[in-house]
Chain A
Amino acid sequence: MRKQVLSLTETAAARIRHLLDQRRRSFLKLGVKARGCNGLSYTLNYADEKGKFDELVEDKGVKILIDPKALMHVIGTEMDFVDDKLRSEFIFVNPNSAGQCGCGESFMTISSSEAAKRGGGSRT
């Protein structure tokens, strides 16, 4: 059985289900962008159709699209949702992450750090 690229906790799946139902959109799309103090940070947007090279992940009854540029960086990640009075946010537990900035928003993976050493040319 093929190992999931991305897994969701029950709380994350429930939250995503709620967001998609509320807005009546089809998918959430996970991506990464270069910013933050330590390489990359996650982006999350609504999407209505699957792009040609997007990876579709279905877990706990919820569909997530992964941007092809992000795929290598998020393999094996578990997406969770924490909700306390002061903040509510999606968090990503990423085994590829070699370091993280204090707030956890920005992370670096082995592949992105090597790319940065090579001169940042292949930075996504």
Chain B
Amino acid sequence: MTSSSRSLIRRLSPYFSARIRLNSRLLSSSSALRESQLSSSESPSPSTDAVHMTDNCVRRIKELQAEEASKKLLRLSIEAGGCSGFQYNFALDDKTNNDDRIFEKDGVKLVVDNISFDFVKGATVDYVEELIRSAFQVSTNPSAVGGCSCKSSFMVK
């Protein structure tokens, strides 16, 4: 190998290796995306399209699961009512339905039915512990506008 081609290779190799690294990153991220879409049913990757859980919420659900024989899921649903039009409803459920969206964190599942999901896209579920009450709460909901300050009732945009 001539010295000029050797130095050429030396000059070009960082570009090649950077390109190879970029390509492999693209490949691995797109395959991860495909994998997540296949494995969990309708769990969207962009975070504005999911319902999130805080760590305290996950911890509380795990506590509740430890008390039950069957594996319980936390179900968030919307019902009409409250002082601002709609209100949140939390329940423990055993099974999911075909039209449910499932969000998983740390091994616990939050389930939202398809109709309710439109009202809680991007929301965060928290478990709030105060002297006067300890309860699940939707702490932020970008899909809602206004709403009562006790956070159980809200209006939609």
Using a CB–CB cutoff of 8 Å, the interface residues on chain A facing chain B are: 19, 28, 35-38, 41-46, 85-90, 101-103, 105-106
Alpha-carbon distance between A36 and B148 when the two chains are bound, in angstroms:
6
Return A1 CB to nearest CB of chain B, in Å. 30
- Residues of B within 8 Å of A106, CB to CB, are 83, 148-150
Contact of A37 among B91, B132, B135, B149 (CB under 8 A): B149
- Residues of B within 8 Å of A102, CB to CB, are 81-83, 87, 148, 152-153
Alpha-carbon distance between A38 and B82 when the two chains are bound, in angstroms:
11
Residues A37 and B87 in contact, CB atoms below 8 Å apart: no
Q: Is B131 an interface residue (CB 8 A)?
A: yes
Residues A88 and B153 in contact, CB atoms below 8 Å apart: no
- Residues of B within 8 Å of A44, CB to CB, are 131-132
Residues A103 and B92 in contact, CB atoms below 8 Å apart: no
Return B114 CB to nearest CB of chain A, in Å. 22
How many residues on the B side are at the interface (Cβ–Cβ under 8 A)?
Answer: 22
Using a CB–CB cutoff of 8 Å, the interface residues on chain B facing chain A are: 64, 67, 81-84, 87, 90-92, 131-136, 148-153
Alpha-carbon distance between A89 and B131 when the two chains are bound, in angstroms:
8
Residues B150 and A105 in contact, CB atoms below 8 Å apart: yes
A-B contact pairs, 28 of them (CB 8 A): A36-B150, A37-B83, A37-B149, A41-B150, A43-B132, A44-B132, A85-B64, A85-B67, A86-B90, A86-B91, A86-B92, A87-B90, A87-B133, A87-B135, A87-B136, A89-B132, A89-B133, A101-B82, A101-B83, A101-B150, A101-B152, A102-B81, A102-B82, A102-B87, A103-B87, A103-B150, A103-B152, A103-B153
Given contacts A37-B83, A101-B82, A101-B153, contact A88 B148 (CB under 8 A): no
- Residues of B within 8 Å of A41, CB to CB, are 150
Residue on A with the closest CB to B84? Answer: A37
- Residues of A within 8 Å of B149, CB to CB, are 35-37, 106
Alpha-carbon distance between A105 and B81 when the two chains are bound, in angstroms:
15
**Residue among B149, B150, B151 with the most chain A CB within 10 A?**
B150
